[in-house]
Structure 1
Amino acid sequence: MPEAPDIPTAWRQLLERTPGTRQGDPLVIEAAYAQPELRSLYPWPSHGILKFLRSAPSSAGNDDNLPFIVCGKPPYTVYTSGYTTLLGEVATPEEAAALVVAHLPGGGTG
């Protein structure tokens, strides 16, 4: 399955549920998209989680130090990269997205 070439395209494909592209939990995706800090990151749904990358995936690898959301039904859990630290369990996708934003390293996407 081809990956979106850039951040805006990746979000558009997720929000529109474009056939043949990565899909994720629609409620979590909408909540993440509502956060400007997350909207500026590349969304990467895979295996029941929503990760965030600083740029489109490439064969050279990606910076993978950002927190992510475990999707599904409540509670939604947010971890640091590699499941190193549980940042919290929350009741709504909106709270999960806000928790990711609160724990972005280096003041966000910069």
Structure 2
Amino acid sequence: MPEAPDIPTAWRQLREKTPHTRQGDPLVIEAAYAQPRLRALYPFPTHGTLQFLRAAPPWQSDEQDALPFIVCGEPPYQVHAAGYSQLLGTAATPEEAVALVVAHLPAELAAEPGWELHDR
């Protein structure tokens, strides 16, 4: 299945459940979309998780996925560091899981320029 070509398209396809595209947990997706810092990242649902990547495809390095992610499904939601290297915490709601991800984002993503453009 082809990946969305850019960040706004990826979010739109997820939220609209566009046929023949990646799908994920709708509650987690909406909670993540509500957070501007995550909305500036490429959402990538895979294997029961919602991961956040620094850029849209094509991907040329492993750095884009060195971010925390959410294991979706039934509560409690788990938030892990990249590669399942560390359990960062558990959350009873998607909103709490999103807050854990945001709290563990690298400092250079603290004020990603242009995030306001993805607010549509």
Structure-2-length-normalised TM-score = 0.87
Matching residue of 1:68: 69
Once residues 93 and 101 of structure 1 are traced to their aligned partners in structure 2, the CA distance between those partners, rounded to angstroms, is: 12
Gaps of 5+ in 2: 113-120
Q: CA 1:13–1:66 in 2, change beyond 3 Å: closer, same or farther? A: same
Misfit runs of 4+, over 6 Å = none
More divergent stretch after superposition (11-20 vs 59-68): 59-68
Give yes or no for contact 1:101–1:108 (8 Å, CA) kept in 2.
Answer: no
What is the CA RMSD across the aligned residues, in angstroms? 1.2
Q: In the alignment, does 2:29 pair up with 1:29?
A: yes
Once residues 75 and 57 of structure 1 are traced to their aligned partners in structure 2, the CA distance between those partners, rounded to angstroms, is: 31
Matching residue of 1:88: 89
* SS in structure 2 at match of 1:72: coil
Once residues 86 and 67 of structure 1 are traced to their aligned partners in structure 2, the CA distance between those partners, rounded to angstroms, is: 9
Once residues 89 and 64 of structure 1 are traced to their aligned partners in structure 2, the CA distance between those partners, rounded to angstroms, is: 20
Percent identity among equivalent residues?
71
Per-residue CA shift, 1:62-84, capped at 9, x if unaligned? 52110000000100000000001
Once residues 90 and 107 of structure 1 are traced to their aligned partners in structure 2, the CA distance between those partners, rounded to angstroms, is: 25
